[in-house]
Amino acid sequence: MSDRATTGLTRRVAVVTGAADGLGREFAAALAAEGALVAGIDVADQSATAERIGGAFLPLTADVSDPAQVTAAMAEVADRFGGLHVVVNNAGVYPPIPFEQTTPDDLRRMLRINVEGPFYVSQAAVPYLRAAGWGRIVNIASAAVFVGPPDLVAYTTSKAAIIGLTRSLATLLGGDGITVNTIAPGLTRTATAERSTGADGGFARVRATQRIPRTGEPADLISTLLYVCDPGSGFLTGQTLNIDGGSALH
């Protein structure tokens, strides 16, 4: 797909993992609204996302922690849309488990999805991004990395690894015209977050730590996502953008 045929994100091809719900659905919809052709990768049903976006959306069922499934999904995206330009590594799990009660299986599941998933997805995407001569990889971490909540030790550990992945990939891929950045959201109101935190209790606790005293909404992240994905942001790479209402200043 020729870059000369596109303006901004129009006709760019994007993959969003974890697109069935929550922030993934919002990210997929935002990219599609900018004219991108979007594929969602998830193990859950993506019919609600497909209904919201329409014909520019390709739902694919794959486990991001399975390299073979990821490789097959990327090949299908490239075959269907003629290339690949943007990857948003959003899929993740968020179980608040007390540190002393975290089992090896709990930890392995979090590392498998939150760390191995972005690793395998990026690995499978890079050949297509290089072939396009232009690319954006956006990893979704968490503002928890900067505040170290005591009830999210395993989760925070997994998301800290994403920042290291971002920095190394940015060094590896900068010469190919591919940028790699991280967005670290604070607690954001989605149905997924509400299920994990229990109504408004978690939101109220987090709001009390913020300089901007309101609950973060998915719309608060969209402008940052579009900024780092934009073709004009080619000099921004290896960075972590913390979007948490000023809870952590760094």
Query: Is residue 248 included in any domain, yes or no?
Result: no
Q: How far apart are CA 231 and CA 8, in angstroms?
A: 6
Q: What is the pLDDT of residue 41?
A: 98
The residues annotated with a catalytic role in the active site are 155
pLDDT-derived band at 3, boundaries 50, 70, 90 = very low
CATH number (domain holding residue 64): 3.40.50.720
Q: What is the pLDDT of residue 5?
A: 44
Mean pLDDT of 96-112: 95
Mean pLDDT of 170-178: 98
Q: How many domains does the chain have?
A: 1
Entry pTM = 0.92
User: At a CB cut-off of 8 Å and minimum separation 6, what does 242 contact?
Assistant: 143, 146, 184, 186, 248, 250
Query: Is residue 250 included in any domain, yes or no?
Result: no
Give per-residue pLDDT as tens, 32-91. Answer: 999 999 999 999 999 999 999 998 899 999 999 999 999 999 999 999 999 999 999 999
Q: How far apart are CA 187 and CA 74, in angstroms?
A: 30
Query: Is residue 44 included in any domain, yes or no?
Result: yes
Give per-residue pLDDT as tens, 181-228. Answer: 999 998 877 766 666 655 555 777 777 776 778 877 888 899 999 999
Residue 1: is its pLDDT beyond 60? no
Q: What percentage of the chain carries pLDDT values higher than 70?
A: 91
Q: How far apart are CA 193 and CA 114, in angstroms?
A: 16
Query: Is residue 12 included in any domain, yes or no?
Result: yes
Helix H or strand E segment including 112: none
The tokens for 250 are: 């760094």
Mean of the per-residue pLDDT values of the chain? 91
Query: Is residue 182 included in any domain, yes or no?
Result: yes
Q: In terms of residue numbers, what domain contains 144?
A: 7-243
Query: Is residue 113 included in any domain, yes or no?
Result: yes
Q: What is the pLDDT of residue 215?
A: 77
